[in-house]
Structure 1
Amino acid sequence: MVTTPIQPSQHPLAEYIYRLEQGQALLKDTPDNLIEVVGILKSYGVVLDAYSNNLNYIGKYQFLVLFPFFKYFNGDVSFSKLLKHWWHDRINYEYAEYCMRGMLWHGGGKLDEYVDSKEFRVNCDRAIKAKLKSNPFILGLNKIFPNFLLEQAKMSAYYAALGQFWRVMSDMFLSLSDRYDAGEINSIPDVVQHILDGLVANASRPITFEVDIKGETYTIIPEEAGLTFLMETAVPYVEAVFFRGFPFLGTVSYNAQANQVPNGQECFTYGALYADPLPVGSAGIPPTLLMQDMRHYIPDYLHKFYQNSLRQEDDLLVKICISFQKSMYCVTTAALRGLAPHSLDTKDEQEIMANRKFLEGWMNRFLTSRMVDVNQDVLKI
């Protein structure tokens, strides 16, 4: 065990605390892990580009379209695309919506507060009247149920917010791949530093939302609202998608008497950091959609890496899921380093203790996660 200048942590996952204090990541720094993480983030970056473009399109151009049959077409509807859509020869945008609904449901941050504010309601009312002024039936329905269209507008706001968040993350992951190809990324800590630098550089990037209605632009979330990339999208996203998530339909019972779903949202552990990769590939499991999308874009060197494993590519989706989890622990490391009360390499004892308290709180959440599993070279088993 690594010695420290102060009393050792008694936490069961103290090894990972010491690892972070030494500038390492939650994921072990090995050549194989580097190949997996950079390769899968290259693929993920391509997929996120498509997800981001579609979410931004839906938010801006499908605002209050109650039956958006062509929302996945990004405004380009053709018979050939329709056939591909029915044949599922396309990006699975449903996974992006799954993440969006997770963020909307779990909430958190100023975005969650803003969509419940009076200012948001006023902005939405103006857009609702412009959008539906020739539809007395829906306007009448809205008077009977005054929150009906407002809730639809809130969902559109989350479409746009997640789309803007993923725009940044896609560019970040693709530039990571470019730097790896150029020989600039040589270790897992290099990966973490690249992600941390990207998060810091975009931390104050404003999150806004405008919609086009009959040639006019209506502002729903103005820049003056003060919503920013890091605290209003990145942190709630990590909470909702990495940690909490929600149980997949068909895997557990939502019947309250069955007691298979926790009573409190804060107890949910269905996020990406906890998910067992074995069910990946099963019908109705949302991560399957993401893994299916990423399998089309993994680079050649990662394909070769998978082919050298025991089952080669027979369990490709499972392998992609494991690699993806490894990469998300790198992203989580970057987030922890950015959110820690003090620099994790501090030598000041009081600052070290403050960091320890912060990290031990997070380690409590990792106790039932797959953090230990992904550090055991599972692809070689």
Structure 2
Amino acid sequence: RQYELSNVASDTVISINPPYLGATASGATYAVMPVQGYPKGLVDQVREWVNSYGPKMAALGTTGNYDILPLNKGGTGAADVAGARAALQVGPRRNLIFNPLFNVNQRRYGGEATTSANQYVYDRWRVVVSGQTAGGQANKNGFTIVVPAGGLEQVVEGSFISGGDYTLSWSGATAATINGSAVANGAQVTLTAGANVTIRFSGGYMFYPKLEMGSIATGYEDRSYGEELILCQRYYEKSYPFDAKPGTISGVASPNASNGMTFSCSGTGTRAMGRTKFSVEKRAVPSVRYWDQAGNPSSFSAGNFDGTIQTNGFTGDSFRTVQASSSYIWGHCARNAGDTFFCHWEASAEL
């Protein structure tokens, strides 16, 4: 039999429960053994624990039933970092929109009204309707764009689209479409592998646009200006200095200092030849425009080998030309032995 020691009245008197063969007993022999816990103390501790942690445990629900907590329970769905990245659809360089800060501006667009439909303004971005503007206000390391009503859009090259679910997100208040279908901020669309994707924003204002693979809109990520410029130069590049608008003389120094193309003629009857390698290979053979140092279109500046200019507006050789491949731009012109020609150019392989 086992009895609970219910009271120690003195050094010689104890009370047990239930009574031992009667209400009292004297001279009986007992073996005392420890019992784990005491009911009242245990109840008090459990009550304190329930009061402190019960609501929190109830809120967690069944999360304690998993060795690896799944995404829908607030976990990562994986036991290691690589698996968590894959499950959460996060990782570096996820944004498929180039120049999302609008700070790469090789054309030196200044917010003026466009003069043609689908005119490119900031690198990779074009204003859909002629006569509209896409002005910007400085915002951290980029710009917030006042989006024209007719649309500001970017065409994402199909080679960057693997197919499947993609998510479009942005900051600001504007409306968006992908390939002509309305898309809410943070919503998903299904895209076809290898097909170009046209993203258009219309009206309001917008900054930090992001198109990423997967069904989750992750936080905005920055790329460096240099990295962004390289991405944009796959589609557009100019020989002018950064501060010079193509077709103008603003900021133009000697072509040797400003990366204009130089043609040198070695002797009488020979052609002056010049070639420049693009900073970034173009996605396709680009269209080319060129100007002399005074901004005259389709003209050369004739000068000396040291870069000084004798005359601008040279068009005297009907065989003069400037052409390009996806990797190089080159040209030639014929005049007199020792003559040198210069020109500035832009090459566009925009979609």
Tell me which interval the TM-score lies in, with the shorter structure as reference length.
under 0.3
TM superposition score normalised by structure 2: 0.21
TM superposition score normalised by structure 1: 0.20
Q: Which has the larger radius of gyration?
A: 2
More helix by share: 1
Q: Which has the higher contact order (CA 8 A, sep 6+)?
A: 1
